[in-house]
Amino acid sequence: MVMAAKKGPGPGGGVGGGKAEAEAASEVWCRRVRELGGCSQAGNRHCFECAQRGVTYVDITVGSFVCTTCSGLLRGLNPPHRVKSISMTTFTEPEVVFLQSRGNEVCRKIWLGLFDARTSLVPDSRDPQKVKEFLQEKYEKKRWPDTFPWGLCQL
């Protein structure tokens, strides 16, 4: 795992140096995203939508970390959210900066600021239909945001 692909520009420069640099940079951003979804922020270890442990996707639209099931549901919203696989996709710097500034803790304040667990129920993650309805309430009807609009990702 420590095999950092060091293919630095050789002596005398060469062709494609800039491209390699861009690829190396994008690799750095991908790693940053994986870190964000791992240990650096505890709130990102569980799916923002269903609280299931283990996140595999990011919701670029709002800047949250979600599980595979919920990523599919988010794609099906109207308008659809942009989701990206944490391990299979490359990320750009603005996307990573956006994710760093959001994350699940901040998203909770934004989208569930007025959410009251006493009157509304968080859906059971084993029931995709319920989760879907919950997401529609949350993002399509915008039922619980505290200080909307916080703005969506404009990338």
- Name the residue among 83, 78, 82, 100 with its Cα closest to residue 33: 100
Tell me which residue of 144, 47, 154 sits closest to 103, measured CA to CA. Answer: 47
* For Zn ion, the closer CB: 33 or 67: 67
Q: Which positions from 99 through 138 interact with Zn ion, judged by CB under 5 A?
A: none
Instruction: Decide whether 70 or 83 has the Cβ nearer to Zn ion.
Output: 70
Per the CB < 8 A criterion, the answer to whether 89 and 114 are in contact is no
At 39, list the tokens.
Answer: 């240990």
The least distance separating Zn ion from the CB of residue 73, rounded to whole angstroms, comes to 8
Tokens read off for 109: 């304040």
96 in contact with Zn ion (CB under 5 A) = no
Number of residues that bind Zn ion (CB under 5 A): 6
At its nearest, how many Å lie between Zn ion and the CB of residue 145?
19
Site for Zn ion in 25-84 (CB under 5 A): 47, 49-50, 52, 67, 70
Please, which residue, 47 or 86, has the CB nearer to Zn ion? 47
CA distances (Å), 24 to each of 4, 10, 56, 135, in order?
Answer: 10, 15, 22, 36
Residue 91, number of CB atoms within 10 A of its CB = 23
Q: In terms of CB distance, is 5 or 121 closer to Zn ion? A: 121
Residues of the shown chain interacting with Zn ion in the complex, contacts defined by CB under 5 A: 47, 49-50, 52, 67, 70
